[in-house]
Chains A and B, each alone.
Chain A
Amino acid sequence: MLAIHAGPEPAPRRQLFVGTAIACAGMVTLVGGMLATWLRLREQALDSGVSWVPKKVVISMVPANVMLLAFIPICVFAQWAVYAARRDDRPNTALAIGLTALMGLAVINAQAFMFAQLKMPVTGGAYNSMFYAVTITFVVLVIVGVGFSAITAFRYLGGRESDREIVTAHALYWYSLSAVFCALWFVVYVTK
């Protein structure tokens, strides 16, 4: 058998970061596709002279705006974690990851508050079911993000200090989710 010369171990190519980026692309197309369907059905309803948002349904912008504003500190804290991890500053990394997760929980809380306040049945038309489908999908994505924060904290703070890549991947996920929510906020809550 012919032998190929062995080379040195290849430099790591940021596998986790690339994998997260690819998964984020999938997340963007998931929510993007849902929003596109939302807009298409909304347009059809308006063209046929039917009100898209059911009467008596009033969506308060306060929790929606709170969620939007919460993503600003989420991005700052996620980047703070990356900054601190690069400097091997474990206390600051822990604090930043923890605050990111906490803000994620705040977003879930705001969404739950909106559901409770809305009192809109799931039945009743395309708007109702689509509203719940797209917002619950978003909540699931936030829960995944909070879980990602927990895993990042365990892996980085639990001894694998050299594994800074997961902190960067963690930040990328939250940035992508922020972008996704900006689109969702505009389509579902602003244009309605």
Chain B
Amino acid sequence: MTTIDTHATDVVGSSTTEALSGIVGWITTTDHKRVGRMFIGGGLLALAGVSVVGVLLGIDRASTSKNLIDVNALPQLFSIYRVGLIFIVLLPILVGLAVAVVPLQLGARSLAFPRLAASGFWTWMVGAVLVIGSIAANGGPGGGDRRMVAGYLVAQTVVLLGLLAAAVCVATSVMTTRAPGMNMRRVPPFSFSALVGAIGVIIGVPVLVGALLYSYVDYRYGGSGFGQSKDIFSHIGFGFSQPLTFVFAVPAFGIAAEAIAVATRKRLPMRGVMFTGFGLVGLGALGAVVQVPAGLRRDIVHVSFGTALNDIVPYVLINLLPVLGGLIVLGVGALALAAARPRVTPALVFGLLGSLLVFGGLLGNAVYLIGDAQLGGTVFEEGVRLLVAYGAVLAGLGGIAHWAPKLWGRAIAVKAVLPLALLGFLGAVLAAVPYLVAGFAKQPGDSTTFDYGGPEQLWNIAAAVGHLLMLLTVLAFVGLAMKSFGGRSTPATASGDDPWDAQTLEWATSSPAPFANFAEIHTIASAEPLLDLKEAAGRNV
């Protein structure tokens, strides 16, 4: 038998002592599932805040008479919006999911370096609080308080160090803690995508750390080399933008692939091709590492072939190959879905819709960098960032719903959570697409004043409504998750050890997974060990 009994036993003691020991247990935990849940919880909390900021900016952009928000506060709101969306929302949710789930999928008893992962979470959290605090106190890029601007640069570095620590743990786990018989081709899709994402983070994010260190030393001691606070974003902005954000979103495709395999109850076809797709999307990390402009200049058809090639090669490598990667993953997924009658699961709906949004972001970025489109400096970039970030977050929500039984022992009610996927998708589309349209009308990206003489009010109101829908989606999702986590087990939330009739190792242990995950180390002979057993037992044949 592969499970160990982990059902909680009744502990007799005073409620205060229990509460204290519970809090201490969470603070000092080295259980990767708890660490992952803390990352996810922090990310979801921040997502609600960022959505509110998005709503405010949308309303302010839509107002024609005068600015609703104080002009001096706008740089701070833009900073929280940009910084928060990527490093306090997107990355922690997906990194947290990877920290919680990857060791279970690999058949490992623990994450590699669990203490490092736990300290990574606390580092990230302290940094995130300081980032928000410093920006709110007139710091951050474009801020007016010198100490707070410098403080922001340090806090942002702390945030990145925390995320880097967690990424090192995830990458090392996939490389070293796989169950016997699980070669790299047999690694589950989500774990492989987490590996690609983690390596991308480890390669790309330190470059941003270096830029932050330069900016901090320069700004702290005069700001004569890198300019004033308004210029900071020109040095560190690549870390919050495409193509680096593609790397952060790779696990979204992994969640979709995982969900497709479970929904179809069949082996995923062309796994190697799909894994190649993950790798191609991860090439976005090159955008941060090489630090060269990877766009196509204006009138490129009229320059010499050699000059054009200087633009085309980096453009194709850094921006078009990720599009090809996304296309490959979605194409293989579509083939798998077409060859079977898939069940509708939360992970499938969230994962597919989220991946489609990310793919839209990949395409949008390819368009953004065509010089003749003249989209530089417009809200088009913000639209692309929203597609990638909200898409990846939606897929992350699907992942949370999928693995909830292993994380806290109860499922999130399927019928209640499925409409949220559609609501979130609608919200993300409404938040992002109007900005893509407005980009062609040259609406500036870093200002709320814009007089186009067209339906710009409608675009901006639609974007604000989109953020509002995203906020509602997150709040409703968190509510359902809390109900499942803290409430009584109902028929809707009760889950067995394998509620999705799944294929991979995490479903071979009890729900919730015990501290050490597995009582025994499994030897596997294929990428779908549970499916092997079920087929051998005469089911699903």
Mark interface residues in B199-240 (1 if CB within 8 Å of A CB, else 0). 100111111111101101110111011100000000000000
Total interface residues in chain A, CB < 8 Å: 45
State A124–B225 Cα separation when bound (angstroms).
8
CB neighbours (8 Å) of B1 from chain A are 1, 3
- Decide if A133 touches B214 in the complex (CB within 8 Å): yes
Q: For B180, give its contact among A7, A121, A126 (CB under 8 Å).
A: A7
- B497 interface residue per 8 A CB criterion: yes
Interface residues of A in 95-148 (CB under 8 A from B): 121-130, 132-134, 136-137
- Decide if B204 touches A8 in the complex (CB within 8 Å): no
State A1–B216 Cα separation when bound (angstroms).
56
- Decide if B172 touches A30 in the complex (CB within 8 Å): no
- Decide if B2 touches A3 in the complex (CB within 8 Å): yes
Minimum C-beta distance from B392 to chain A (A): 22
State A124–B172 Cα separation when bound (angstroms).
43
- Decide if A10 touches B179 in the complex (CB within 8 Å): yes
- Decide if B530 touches A129 in the complex (CB within 8 Å): no
Minimum C-beta distance from B396 to chain A (A): 23
CB neighbours (8 Å) of A5 from chain B are 522-523
Minimum C-beta distance from A172 to chain B (A): 14
Minimum C-beta distance from A165 to chain B (A): 11
State A22–B203 Cα separation when bound (angstroms).
9
* Shortest beta-carbon contacts, A-B, top 9: A126-B225, A7-B523, A33-B207, A6-B520, A30-B206, A123-B222, A129-B218, A13-B176, A34-B210
State A22–B209 Cα separation when bound (angstroms).
16
Q: For A133, give its contact among B169, B206, B213, B291 (CB under 8 Å).
A: B213
- Decide if B206 touches A126 in the complex (CB within 8 Å): no
- Decide if B204 touches A29 in the complex (CB within 8 Å): yes
Q: Which residues of A contact B (CB under 8 A)?
A: 1-10, 13-15, 18-19, 22-23, 25-27, 29-34, 36-37, 40-41, 121-130, 132-134, 136-137
List 24 contacting pairs A-B, 8 Å CB cutoff, sorted by A. Answer: A1-B496, A2-B537, A6-B521, A6-B523, A7-B181, A15-B172, A18-B175, A19-B168, A19-B172, A29-B206, A29-B289, A30-B206, A32-B289, A33-B208, A34-B210, A34-B214, A37-B214, A121-B221, A123-B221, A124-B222, A126-B226, A127-B225, A133-B218, A134-B214
- Decide if B168 touches A13 in the complex (CB within 8 Å): no
State A141–B226 Cα separation when bound (angstroms).
24
- Decide if A4 touches B213 in the complex (CB within 8 Å): no
Q: For A25, give its contact among B202, B210, B222 (CB under 8 Å).
A: B202
- Decide if B214 touches A4 in the complex (CB within 8 Å): no
- B145 interface residue per 8 A CB criterion: no
- Decide if B209 touches A30 in the complex (CB within 8 Å): yes
- Decide if A8 touches B521 in the complex (CB within 8 Å): yes
Max chain B Cβ within 10 angstroms of own Cβ: one of A4, A25, A41 = A4
- B508 interface residue per 8 A CB criterion: yes
Minimum C-beta distance from B483 to chain A (A): 26
- Decide if A33 touches B202 in the complex (CB within 8 Å): no
State A134–B225 Cα separation when bound (angstroms).
14
- Decide if B217 touches A29 in the complex (CB within 8 Å): no
CB neighbours (8 Å) of A1 from chain B are 1-3, 496-498, 508
* Given contact pairs A5-B523, A33-B291, A18 touches B218 in the complex (Cβ within 8 A): no
* Given contact pairs A22-B171, A130-B214, A133-B213, A15 touches B206 in the complex (Cβ within 8 A): no
